[in-house]
Amino acid sequence: MKFSIAVLPGDGVGPEVAGEAVNVLKSVGAKYGHDFKLDYGDIGGISIDNHGTALSKDVLKICKKSDAILLGAVGGPKWDDPNASVRPEDGLLALRKALGLFANLRPVKLFPFLRDSTNLKPEVVDGIDFICVRELTGGLYFGKPKRQWTTTKGRRAVDTMAYNEHEVERIAKVGFELARSRKKKLISVDKANVLESSRLWRQVVIEVSANYPDVDLEHMLVDACAMRLIQNPRYLDVMVTENTFGDILTDEASMLAGSMGMLPSASLAGVPTADSHSLGLYEPIHGSAPRRAGLDMANPIATILSVAMMLCYSLGLNKEAVAVESAVDKALEEKYRTYDIMQESCTKVGTKQMGALIAERV
Ligand code: IPM
Ligand code: MG
């Protein structure tokens, strides 16, 4: 089959990890007879440098007419001036918003061969396999007012955590549908003991739950959830939460899987179904890691696993998605490790070699 994929490598280690993910995609194409047409575009800091904006209209247009978008990472010290009028991250937020990608799926799965490479006791992390559904186009990231100004008493800044019921309802549905397809247990994470937006969140989630009598719903406060993640991560199966909470909790959760370099993500505009073929954005959850950039060090697995999610959720190529995951598993079984998941008696490899090893094993 023929597919067009927009590739936005971005900044820092982004081009390196995206490059390896593309190699794996090409290897899928060769093995299974698919034709992936790649359209490259700038996003983030490189786009600011080349076009004066973090996301140009041309790139957005390319993304809109593609079957899926693969993204590396954005940001870096070069563009970090707090007074700058535009930031690399604006490009990513604008892309998510413009495409209505409100549902961010972040699976947290420990590859068995990495059980001894995490900072936690193996018996705590053994068998973890859950998914965080992060609301991606609302909440604290997008609420208005959002600004900084000077008052007679000094500088002041405000961000706004705002939700309307429609936004909560649609993300809750994604959570319930996923829960229904798994262990029929959904944890909704909020801060309803303090925040008004969380009280609305909780009410709407309860209302939506009426349509899912087969799914067991539990509410968890976000601080307790942060604790639970480390204390007993196997307790979790599907959780659904606000944008910022999800951002923070998934960085924490990545350590259960060994490293930030292991967690992929899919950003979708609706409920994913077994054979959905809708446009999605696929990116690792990690950032641009500027200190590692250009050193052939970064772990490309998070981006490669994002390709697996793309094959599944946007292209309907489930068998191919499984092949990519198995190839990752195989490379880990054969004891190849990037620096972030390095273990005794393993072979340390760089970004390129890890990518090549996985591509060969597809
Ligand atoms: C993520 C990243 C982004 C976010 C940044 C780069 C804007 O941290 O995808 O988790 O906060 O959403
Ligand atoms: Mg993040």
Alpha carbon of 247 to ligand 1 centroid (Å): 7
State the span(s) of the chain assigned CATH 3.40.718.10.
1-104+275-362, 118-257
List, in sequence order, every beta strand (DSSP E) within 152-297.
154-160, 185-190, 216-221, 238-241, 266-268, 280-282
Phi, psi values for residue 74, rounded to 5°:
-125, 155
Identified catalytic residue from 247, 282, 313, 340: 247
Which CATH code fits 1-104+275-362? 3.40.718.10
Is 80 exceeded by the pLDDT of residue 274? no
Q: Which two tokens stand for residue 173?
A: 């549905």
Ligand 1 atom at minimum distance from 251 CA: 10
The finding on whether 247 has its CB within 6 A of some atom of ligand 1 is yes
What is the residue whose two structure tokens read 């994470």? Answer: 189
CA 239 to mean position of chain CA atoms: 14
Q: How many C-beta neighbours within 10 Å does residue 171 have? A: 32
Instruction: List, for residues 292-315, the tens digit of each pLDDT value.
Output: 999 999 999 999 999 999 999 999
Q: In whole angstroms, what is the distance from residue 287 CA to residue 289 CA?
A: 6
Q: What is the mean pLDDT of the chain?
A: 97
Type of residue numbered 151: T
Type of residue numbered 227: M
Is 70 exceeded by the pLDDT of residue 6? yes
- CA distances (Å), origin 120, targets 116, 229, 252, 341: 8, 11, 12, 13
Known catalytic residue at 141: yes
**Which residue's CA is the nearest one to ligand 1's atom 5?**
89
Instruction: List, for residues 146-159, the tens digit of each pLDDT value.
Output: 999 999 999 999 99
DSSP 36-61: EEEEE---THHHHHHHSSSS-HHHHH
Alpha carbon of 270 to ligand 2 centroid (Å): 21
Known catalytic residue at 247: yes
**Which residue's CA is the nearest one to ligand 1's atom 12?**
247
Instruction: List, for residues 250-273, the tens digit of each pLDDT value.
Output: 999 999 999 999 999 999 999 887
List, in sequence order, every beta strand (DSSP E) within the chain.
2-10, 35-40, 68-73, 103-109, 129-135, 143-151, 154-160, 185-190, 216-221, 238-241, 266-268, 280-282, 336-337, 347-348
Known catalytic residue at 191: yes
Is 70 exceeded by the pLDDT of residue 67? yes
Instruction: List, for residues 231-253, the tens digit of each pLDDT value.
Output: 999 999 999 999 999 999 999 99
In this prediction, residue 82 carries a pLDDT of 87
CATH H-level superfamily of 118-257 = Isopropylmalate Dehydrogenase (3.40.718.10)
